[in-house]
Structure 1
Amino acid sequence: MSITTHAPRTTDSARALRAELVERATALRPLVSGNAEGTDRARMVPAENIDALAQVGLFSLMQPARYGGLQTDFRTLLEVSRTVGYACGSTGWLTSLLNANAWFVGLFPARAQDDVWADHPGARVAGVVTPMGTAEPVEGGYRVSGRWTPASGCAHADWAILGVKRPDADGTADAVGIVLVPMPELTVQDTWFVTGMRGTASNTLIGNDLFVPAHRFHSVPDAVEGRYATPFTDEALYRAPFVPVTALVLTGPQLGLAAAAVDILLDKAPQRGLTLTSYSSQAQAPTIQLAAAHAASLADSAQLHAHRAAADIDDAAQTGLFPAYDARARMRMDTGRAAVLARKAVDIVCSAQGASSFGESNPLQRIWRDIEAGSRHAVLNPDVAAEIYGKSLFGIRGTVSALV
């Protein structure tokens, strides 16, 4: 098995743009981290954060260049969302998810893309791709109803991508799909009462008998197999594999949270004694040194797994060769593993810092809550990912989930 953490066909200009975008995200850290506690308490990323990210182009990473977007790649999205997530998990989560939903729009027919961006190139898109609604065929399109949750970023979005089932199309590629709906046609119900990733305001979207024109429907089974409706087949970004992308975009903010936790330990330990021991500085205690080593190594390992998945995804997009089932299974395994390792890194830091980690004034407690919640997203389920991957290693395919 080969291990690659950089897509080999990435150009020097793309790498330079990636570095510049990470610098822009880094420059916003003081603002985002300064608002992190308020974000958590208000259960909402403030407009100040959203506006600042938008102003430096960090919501246009996955938007087609045809509409003024940057049309970068998934390694870039991973690194930008990691950088923002370092300062605030919820803000990093929205940075990644709003960009990911823009990528989904890029898979739709040209007319649907025009609906979203032709007259409003700054439009943002939230979404829930899980098929929680129904679509009934009518003349010219569908009548869509349902309740969709959790809709991360819906408070800052102009459009929503919503997962639907078509009872009339059972047994066909159109049985499950995603549709595009303007946010003003939906009702937002305040249901996001959680302990982690509170600021994402991932509330419930409600729609009743909404008309969705036919061009705003995309088959999910087709997407899973790399059959996209976009006519712009020369745009490499929109050739990336659907399910690996859907999983990868959830890992970036968690890599940032793990890195932030390790840095907090390294910053605080030299100034604190180790309670009930003779060590006046925790940095001199082997217990803390070992904890720091293990936590830092786990955070690095999480990043390496995520980077390999991103490299595989970007290489597939750049070559135009849709990856085989076994390769996609490994990508899903990598993303699930990255989430678990990042979570373990934070857990070690909290244990090393003791009960003080959970004081309300300590950012570690927010980091711990955010990663405990975010790493348990269903698409990242490490046991499901491991079963899919383990079976694929023995040539057993397609028995666990269609989402590979």
Structure 2
Amino acid sequence: MTAVVYSAAPLNDLRAATVRTRVSVPLRFADGYAASAEVMTFHGLTDGREHLLLGLGDWEQVLLDGARPPLVRLHSECMTGDVFGSERCDCGPQLREAVEAIASTGGFLLYLRQEGRGIGLYSKLDAYALQDQGLDTYDANLALGHGEDERDYAAAVQMLCTLGATTVRLLTNNPDKAAQLAALGIAIEEQVPTGVHLSEANSRYLEAKRDRTGHTLELNRAAVVRPAKTVAGRTPGHAEVLARVDALVPGLRARAEETEQLRRLPAETVQELHEAGVYRLLAPVSVGGYGLGAATYGETVRHLARACASTAWTAGHLAEHAWMLARWPRKVQEEVFNSGLMPLAAATSAPIGSATRVAGGYTVSGHWSFASGIMHARWALLAVQLDGVRLQALVPVAELELLDAWHTDGLRGTGSNDLRADSLFVPGYRVMEWERLTAPDNPGSLIHPDPLIHMPMATLLNLVAPAVALGAAEYAQELFRNQLLVPREKNGTAARQADAVLAQARYARTSGAVATAQLHWQAALSVLPTQPGSPDAMGEPQRAGFRLSLALSAEAAQDAVRLAVAGSGGSAHRLSHPLQRIQRDVGVVLNHPTLGTDPILEQAGRGLLGLGFTAASF
């Protein structure tokens, strides 16, 4: 998000245009998203073309209030992308995204009849043929005798001025659009970036837009994604999901060092998790999820951690947050579950921000930390407070300031950076009382029949950290065993560490610690309800045992990792050795609040003794 990026020149001498037709048109896209548009045509446009203006959302009230300029998108016609769904460009997804974004806040989409950056449909297809021979999108235009970009936005300015929209928030990644509008007299209060719609077919096209014409495209944060595979529409079961995850393990291990260096998941990892359906695990079937239970979720995170703790942590939270979004009212769900892919959202509550009521919603301010998965998320769930009441605000990541603050010794690949906002407007429908969202009878429970939608949020949140610790410990045990069994030459003689009595004893202790962690883990899973449909499916003794078993499992897992590293000699401390990374990752995991030993022991003791919990979130 960029504020006040272009100041307007005085409005020039463009002749006035007038509205010739205004008609209401209901819109429905292929993914099911629907909106209503006021479609306008004009007399007197300077280029004589049949451009359209679509008024979306409460655009008339936005203009009347004048408190915040309308959100505006200049969208050049693209028959191949908009109509036929071509992936050689990103036009179709940008059109779909723009309609939703503008409808939610009020503004205009200008559909400009400037096919192929102004060179026409046939010439654009001729340019495609040249691109197939190696030219980029701009050089192909030049080779055909055209300009790199022949578009002119004078008619767009006429349409905006006709409606009195002389100051706008511009939805674009293209600096030329903002510069032309400003030169023609439209003030750009804010430039709002569009999403990065990367596909295998358009990567060179997007790179050219970024490198040749300065489009603000962060391609290193985007992933080429495809929907999860299913068999004839069948939802996979527990065993199939784990088999998919296990198939990812070799690749995730190979990229674990890269993940740590990037301080986020590589694009290939994000894509593989999409394709395996990991983000779909908990979301209701009616929004494209699998609706599987907490045990499958916990085991999935555990299996991922056998490859990379940062990947397991990130994927686990993103899957859980998709389930959290399904607890919101229908209007929000229609907004976020609209692309065929699970919506990726980060959530953070530390420290809590502030909210103020304003016309149409709220303004929120704050500096939030530990937003795991934010580098891959489109949405952010932010904890805010108003008059002592905790709320949760759902905000597009593009509207927040992202701070590069995640510099840690462990779980480095989670990219758990900070977020900041200062008096950011959030529509009222995207702010909810935390108590309503966390309740068994949350708004989503009135929409979806899935029993899991009634489960307390804390139950799933408390599974992530111990699952990561256990999976990482199992990986450490595997590495330790392999190291002991590999023959090494010493003084001309091949020998194995496994033949030494001390090594055997150390491996036995490591195995015992892992077994202890596994037993506590299984004890925790055994009390999870298979059909969590009641307001409190677990009583206090069961909840006490659940949290205690998870904490003890994580402690034993950390002990196993320590023993494996101690028995592996000095080589385990090389940065290239995965054991040192596992040790650092698990050290950070054990410091997470969900594994705070003292409060867990206190509350678990109270629950087991029948004294009642004193912590509401236990």
Match in the other structure for 1:11:
none
Q: Which deviates further from its counterpart, 128-137 or 236-245?
A: 128-137
Post-superposition offset of 1:255: 1.7
Classify the secondary structure of the residue corresponding to 2:422. Answer: strand
2:239 to 19, 39, 49: 19
1:215 to 425, 429, 439: 429
User: Could you give the per-residue CA deviations for residues 143-187 of structure 1, whole angstroms, max 9, x where no partner exists?
Assistant: 211111101100101111111222x2x3xxxx1232211111111
For residues 90 and 323 of structure 1, the distance between their equivalents in structure 2, rounded to whole angstroms, comes to: 30
Is the aligned partner of 1:93 residue 2:307? no
1:330 to 540, 545, 569: 545
Residues 75, 307 of structure 1: 8 Å contact kept: no
Post-superposition offset of 1:225: 5.4
Change (3 A) 1:376 1:216: same
Match in the other structure for 1:375:
590
For residues 235 and 337 of structure 2, the distance between their equivalents in structure 1, rounded to whole angstroms, comes to: 26
Match in the other structure for 2:221:
none
Q: Counterpart amino acid of 1:29?
A: V
Cα RMSD for the two superposed structures? 2.5
Change (3 A) 1:391 1:61: same
For residues 274 and 243 of structure 1, the distance between their equivalents in structure 2, rounded to whole angstroms, comes to: 52
Match in the other structure for 2:480:
265
Classify the secondary structure of the residue corresponding to 1:44. Answer: coil
Post-superposition offset of 1:258: 0.5
2:458 to 231, 238, 243: 243
Change (3 A) 1:309 1:208: farther
TM norm structure 1: 0.87
Post-superposition offset of 1:104: 1.4
Moved over 6 A (4+): none
2:269 to 27, 49, 64: 49
Residues 322, 343 of structure 2: 8 Å contact kept: no
Match in the other structure for 2:528:
313
Post-superposition offset of 1:54: 0.7
Is the aligned partner of 1:115 residue 2:335? yes
Residues 293, 530 of structure 2: 8 Å contact kept: no
1:339 to 551, 554, 571: 554
Post-superposition offset of 1:271: 2.6
Classify the secondary structure of the residue corresponding to 1:176. Answer: strand
Post-superposition offset of 1:45: 1.3
Is the aligned partner of 1:163 residue 2:383? yes
Change (3 A) 1:60 1:329: same
Q: Counterpart amino acid of 1:308?
A: A
TM norm structure 2: 0.58
Classify the secondary structure of the residue corresponding to 2:306. Answer: helix
For residues 390 and 283 of structure 1, the distance between their equivalents in structure 2, rounded to whole angstroms, comes to: 42
Residues 123, 158 of structure 1: 8 Å contact kept: yes
Change (3 A) 1:272 1:375: farther
Match in the other structure for 1:300:
515
For residues 207 and 182 of structure 1, the distance between their equivalents in structure 2, rounded to whole angstroms, comes to: 12
Change (3 A) 1:294 1:228: farther
Task: Give the aligned length.
Answer: 382
Residues 85, 91 of structure 1: 8 Å contact kept: yes
Residues 131, 162 of structure 1: 8 Å contact kept: no
User: Could you give the per-residue CA deviations for residues 251-280 of structure 1, whole angstroms, max 9, x where no partner exists?
Assistant: 2222211110000111110236799xx994
Match in the other structure for 1:38:
258
Q: Which deviates further from its counterpart, 102-111 or 84-93?
A: 102-111
Change (3 A) 1:272 1:355: farther
For residues 236 and 411 of structure 2, the distance between their equivalents in structure 1, rounded to whole angstroms, comes to: 31
Residues 131, 177 of structure 1: 8 Å contact kept: no
Post-superposition offset of 1:42: 2.1
Match in the other structure for 1:77:
297
For residues 463 and 370 of structure 2, the distance between their equivalents in structure 1, rounded to whole angstroms, comes to: 18
For residues 214 and 274 of structure 1, the distance between their equivalents in structure 2, rounded to whole angstroms, comes to: 69
Is the aligned partner of 1:126 residue 2:346? yes
Match in the other structure for 1:5:
none
Higher helix share: 1
Residues 130, 162 of structure 1: 8 Å contact kept: no
For residues 534 and 439 of structure 2, the distance between their equivalents in structure 1, rounded to whole angstroms, comes to: 16
Change (3 A) 1:120 1:158: farther
Change (3 A) 1:300 1:103: farther
Q: Counterpart amino acid of 1:201?
A: G
1:391 to 586, 601, 606: 606
Classify the secondary structure of the residue corresponding to 2:409. Answer: coil
Change (3 A) 1:301 1:109: farther
- Unpaired segments ≥5 residues, structure 1: 1-13
Q: Counterpart amino acid of 1:241?
A: P
Match in the other structure for 2:369:
149
Change (3 A) 1:303 1:210: farther
Classify the secondary structure of the residue corresponding to 1:165. Answer: strand
1:284 to 499, 504, 517: 499
Match in the other structure for 1:3:
none
User: Could you give the per-residue CA deviations for residues 319-375 of structure 1, whole angstroms, max 9, x where no partner exists?
Assistant: 564333343233222222222111111011111113221112211001111111112
For residues 107 and 298 of structure 1, the distance between their equivalents in structure 2, rounded to whole angstroms, comes to: 38
1:102 to 308, 315, 322: 322
For residues 548 and 331 of structure 2, the distance between their equivalents in structure 1, rounded to whole angstroms, comes to: 35
How many percent of aligned residue pairs carry the same amino acid?
31
2:398 to 180, 184, 194: 184
Residues 540, 608 of structure 2: 8 Å contact kept: no
Is the aligned partner of 1:200 residue 2:420? no
Residues 101, 125 of structure 1: 8 Å contact kept: yes
Match in the other structure for 1:402:
616
Change (3 A) 1:153 1:340: same
Greater RCO (Cα-Cα under 8 Å, separation 6 or more):
1
1:226 to 440, 464, 468: 440
Residues 282, 292 of structure 2: 8 Å contact kept: yes
Work out which of the two has the higher radius of gyration on C-alpha atoms and give 1 or 2.
2
Q: Counterpart amino acid of 1:185?
A: E
